[in-house]
Amino acid sequence: MELIERSFDSMRYRVRMSEAVQESLLDFGDEAVPGAVRPERLPLRSGAWIDVQRGWLGGSAPLFARLAEAVPWRAERRRMYDRTVDVPRLLCFYGEGAPLPDPALEACREVLNAHYAGELGESFVTAGLCFYRDGRDSVAWHGDTIGRSATEDTMVAILSLGEARPLLLRPRRGGGETLRYVLGHGDLFVMGGSCQRTWEHAVPKSARPTGPRISVQFRPRGVR
């Protein structure tokens, strides 16, 4: 099992791991190498779709350990109604032109751009990282609709590292089935078309013991 030591300094966490998260069979190997992008696509309502590819990034466990140690993770607080609350996960954002924290993530973005740029009409240029430390960390129902994704079709490509956690999807206006995908260990999950404005996604809390997970979200310009 993993051991995570947390220290708090100016709203910034440094995360150390004495042992990487438990590996799946797809995690074996010292180098994190993305494979060819050959996802299964599922069309959704209202012009949305998702692509899913299990184990796209081989050797993901060593990359998880490097990111957990090297990324300048930040704890944030946000205003919710009449009070300010802790965001239940650690965050780090790499804007356009900023070097990513590991060459493997640069390689992943290059492969994704080679595959999706023609359909997307542009490249993925930013990366948002989330650290879910255990089952208490989560993200509430939302769509990535800050910026032009509120009115335009776009894509968000998610690389999951570490412990598998459920990602849920549901139509924003209700009236449809909630979809559930358990993602981790180098899985690739891409939301495209109108998905950000017509569907919502979430990572719920877990009452059972759950190891840490890192989510990497690659986005095009002006999408958050």
Residues in Cβ contact with 117 at an 8 Å cutoff, skipping those fewer than 6 apart:
123
Top pLDDT among 199 and 25 is at 199
The class level of CATH for 4-219 reads mainly beta
Judged by DSSP in three states, 210 sits in coil
Mean pLDDT on 139-153: 96
Cα atoms in the 13 Å half-sphere on the side-chain side of 59: 13
Question: With contact defined as beta carbons under 8 Å apart, do 72 and 94 qualify?
Answer: no
Report pLDDT digits (tens) over 27-45.
656 689 999 999 999 999 9
pLDDT of residue 78: 73
Question: With contact defined as beta carbons under 8 Å apart, do 6 and 15 qualify?
Answer: yes
Per domain, the residue ranges of the chain are 4-219
Whole-angstrom Cα distance, residue 210 to residue 197?
A: 30
Going from the C-alpha of 173 to that of each of 115, 178, 194, the distances in angstroms are 31, 12, 13
Average pLDDT, the chain: 89
Report pLDDT digits (tens) over 189-206.
999 999 999 999 999 999
Q: How many CB atoms lie within 10 A of CB 77?
A: 11
Degrees, nearest 5: CA angle 67-38-176: 90
pLDDT of residue 81: 67
pLDDT of residue 82: 75
Report pLDDT digits (tens) over 124-138.
999 999 999 999 999
